[in-house]
């Protein structure tokens, strides 16, 4: 039987048991190398430079962002 999401008080599903699509995915912290047009950026990953969307965050070169599915979802460290 597959795991079933359990609703939380905030309306966001919370998963339990083995694995489910909602909570098994992870985000990766990467550093922004340069900003590009249309809300895109080049970031440094373990595998080398990669293009991701930064349309949802206020990121600048040098910032560390959390990326999930090629979308930056949070700035976790601002450039100093």
Residue 1 lies in a domain: no
pTM higher than the cut 0.75: no
- In a structure prediction context, what are the per-residue pLDDT tens digits for the chain, which is 80 residues long? 444 444 434 444 455 555 444 455 678 899 999 999 999 999 999 889 999 999 999 999 999 999 988 999 999 999 87
Range of the domain at 53: 6-77
Residue 29 lies in a domain: yes
Give the CATH number of the domain where residue 73 resides: 2.30.30.140
Count of H-run helices and E-run strands, the chain: 1, 7
Distance CA 44, CA 47 (A): 8
Contact 62, 43 (CB under 8 A): no
Q: How many domains does the chain have?
A: 1
């Amino acid at each position: 039987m597959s795991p079933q999401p359990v609703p939380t008080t905030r309306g966001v599903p919370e998963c339990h048991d083995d694995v489910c699509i909602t909570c098994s995915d992870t985000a990766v912290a990467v550093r922004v190398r340069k900003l590009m047009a249309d809300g895109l950026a080049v970031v440094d990953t373990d595998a080398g430079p990669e293009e991701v969307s930064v349309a949802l965050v206020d990121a600048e070169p040098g910032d560390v962002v959390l990326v999930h599915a090629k979308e930056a979802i949070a700035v976790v460290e601002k450039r100093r």
